[in-house]
């Protein structure tokens, strides 16, 4: 499974099906389109670390504006 | 979840934080003579790490909670409270973990989670600010994430100094609970996190209500002043 699909799976778990992940692309914005708040960002970062076995820093989080940003970040660390 | 080796109960590396804790404990113990009161017969497990959540009405609260629970306690503090470099170094030496509330501080959270995984207690004030009237404000959700990630129970407590300076401080200790016992899936959803945050608030209110029942004091809620 590619990184985007795994990320969609994580989003689905975090939001427990409350968001439709089928329409999520690399262009999807986390705050504007998904409505992520700071606590959800933190949770997603923790979930990403667990799922992809990568380590994120405080500098990485503001760079995560779109789903594509996360995909690129994760793939560069794997 | 990543396996982390537990720390021994006594070790020279804890001396810098244990020594001030002992001295502060003696001083605060004499001044406040804190009394620990459990709301039920179920006692917290002392062999595991825990996330202690408390109301925050005075700067003495961290010390009162630490000495009353008689465990090595680490504290979460906002970066602002950490102050300048000297103060920050001293506070970190005493077991403070700085959290920057203006960002999603994943590094600070990771530090706190690792401390709990190593078998220690972390105290946090989930209201996120000092409320001098002693009220329990709206809680923030970070506690749920940290306790879940560390796999430790949340222990709600209510700390209150007496109405007069010579009254003993009281620490009402609630029942600890695990996040994993309260969710159906492996990971909590955002809806679970909101529900569990409300649950924590409810548990803290239970401790507060027990305090007023125990002391027989009247709970005077602060009145909201209307402007104009």
How many domains, in total, are found in chain B? 1
Higher-confidence residue of B60 and B114: namely B114
B104, B193, B196, best to mutate vs chain A, most A CBs in 10 Å: B104
**Any domain includes B168:** yes
**Any domain includes B12:** no
The full DSSP string for chain B is ----PPPPSS-GGGHHHHHHHHHHHHHHHHHH--EEEESSS-PPPTTS-EEEEE---STTHHHHHHHHHTS-EEEEEEHHHH-SHHHHHHHHHTTEEEE-TTTT-HHHHHHHHHHHHTT-EEEE-TT-S--TT----PPPTHHHHHHHHHT--EEEEEEE--SSTTSPPEEEE---B-GGGT-SSSS--HHHHHHHHHHHHHHHHHHHHHHHHHH-----PPPPPPP-
- The model's pLDDT over B168-205, given as tens digits with 9 standing for 90+, comes to 999 999 999 999 999 998 899 999 999 999 999 999 99
Q: Which of A73, A78, A68 is nearest to A4 (CA)?
A: A68
The SS3 call for residue A6 is helix
A49 contact residues in B (CB cutoff 8 A): 106
List the structure tokens of B185.
């899936």
**Any domain includes B140:** yes
**Any domain includes B67:** yes
The torsion defined by the Cα of A61, A67, A71 and A74, in degrees rounded to 10, comes to 20
Structural domain including B53 reads 36-72+101-215
Q: Considering only the beta carbons, identify the residue of A14, A40, A61 that sits closest to B103.
A: A61
Report yes or no: A47 at the B interface, CB cutoff 8 Å. yes
Longest dimension (CA), chain B: 59
- Report the pLDDT value the prediction gives residue B81, as an integer from 0 to 100: 66
A15, A58, A70, A77, best to mutate vs chain B, most B CBs in 10 Å: A58
A18 contact residues in B (CB cutoff 8 A): 189-191
- Report the pLDDT value the prediction gives residue B10, as an integer from 0 to 100: 73
Report yes or no: A56 at the B interface, CB cutoff 8 Å. yes
B193 contact residues in A (CB cutoff 8 A): 39, 43
B105 contact residues in A (CB cutoff 8 A): 42, 58
Q: CATH code at B68?
A: 3.40.1130.10
Report yes or no: A22 at the B interface, CB cutoff 8 Å. no
- Name residue, tokens 């804890």: B14
Is a pLDDT exceeding 80 seen at residue B4? no
Identify the structural domains of chain A with CATH numbers, from first to last: 3-77 (1.10.1200.10)
**Any domain includes B149:** yes
What band does B100 get if pLDDT is binned at 50, 70 and 90?
Answer: confident
Report yes or no: B198 at the A interface, CB cutoff 8 Å. no
What band does B111 get if pLDDT is binned at 50, 70 and 90?
Answer: very high
- The model's pLDDT over B118-143, given as tens digits with 9 standing for 90+, comes to 999 999 999 988 888 778 889 999 99
**Any domain includes B79:** no
- Interface touch A46/B109, C-beta < 8 Å: yes
Q: Which of B140, B206, B149 is nearest to B176 (CA)?
A: B206
- The complex's ipTM? 0.89
Output the pTM of the full model: 0.89
């Amino acid at each position: 499974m590619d990184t985007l699909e795994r990320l969609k799976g994580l989003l689905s778990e975090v939001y427990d099906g409350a968001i439709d992940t089928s329409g999520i692309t690399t262009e999807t914005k986390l705050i504007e389109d998904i409505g992520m708040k700071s606590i959800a960002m933190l949770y997603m970062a923790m979930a990403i670390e667990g799922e992809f076995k990568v380590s994120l820093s405080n500098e990485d989080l503001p760079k995560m504006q779109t789903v594509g940003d996360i995909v690129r970040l994760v793939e560069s660390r794997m | 979840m990543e396996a982390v080796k537990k720390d021994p109960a006594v070790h020279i590396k804890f001396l810098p934080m244990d020594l001030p804790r002992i001295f502060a404990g003696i001083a605060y113990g004499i001044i406040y003579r804190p009394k620990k009161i459990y709301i039920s017969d179920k006692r917290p497990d002392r062999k595991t790490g825990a996330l202690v959540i408390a109301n925050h009405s005075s700067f003495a609260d961290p010390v009162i909670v630490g000495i009353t629970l008689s465990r090595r306690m680490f504290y979460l503090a906002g970066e602002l409270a950490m102050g300048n470099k000297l103060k920050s170094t001293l506070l970190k030496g005493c077991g403070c973990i700085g959290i920057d509330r203006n960002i999603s501080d994943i590094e600070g959270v990771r530090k706190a989670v690792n401390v709990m995984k190593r078998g220690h207690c972390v105290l946090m004030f989930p209201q996120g600010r000092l409320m001098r009237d002693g009220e329990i404000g709206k809680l923030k959700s970070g506690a749920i994430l940290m306790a879940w990630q560390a796999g430790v129970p949340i222990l709600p407590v209510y700390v209150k100094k007496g109405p007069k300076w010579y009254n003993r401080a009281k620490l009402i200790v609630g029942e600890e609970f695990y996040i994993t016992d309260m969710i159906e899936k492996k990971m909590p959803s955002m809806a679970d996190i909101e529900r569990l945050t409300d649950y924590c608030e409810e548990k803290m209110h239970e401790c507060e209500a027990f305090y007023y029942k125990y002391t027989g004091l009247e709970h005077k809620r602060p009145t909201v002043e209307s402007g104009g």
